[in-house]
Structure 1
């Protein structure tokens, strides 16, 4: 999957869940040293809709209990994003995400309190 390969090629981005045995069109990644809320807002401003948890927990500021149960620490789970691709999602949409997200991650890491804590 192009989106998974492109996202996991970025520094400190990991796929959550099995790489192949997963729901089609559902991608969940954790991005270290970035706050999930900041990522969601920045991506939204770029026209990219994502979530930090399941559809049934949207609106919650808590990290996904599923990711926590999978062994992710609080900070990593809090920096997770869920991409849901539908029938109308085209190759150009995926290309746009992969073009925009590296700069957003870099910018947010520079100003993140998580980054400051790590020194």
Structure 2
């Protein structure tokens, strides 16, 4: 992919080489062959200090754990959504009652009054 900030100098250099060496209009492959390689930043081994017992790290861990903790105020849905509508509006791709054993059990529980509304 072309990045003007990093590749403009490479294109200028490639065209300068082609202008010097070619007597006719060059093919695109010739431009790519004449283009110098991108400068690669040197990778250094610098340890990242991370103390899991530090207060800052504990706060980050608590923040991440809070994201995955279920909200106790929100009604938890575990049905397929065909028989009883889920709070989130999702429906499983099971085919619903008649095709899915879970949906059949949910429909039967609804008929007998043992299901959630």
Report which of the two has the higher share of strand: 1
TM-score (ref. length: structure 2): 0.21
Which structure has the bigger radius of gyration? Answer: 2
TM-score (ref. length: structure 1): 0.20
Report which of the two has the higher share of helix: 1
Considering Cα pairs closer than 8 Å and 6+ residues apart, tell me whether 1 or 2 has the greater RCO. 1
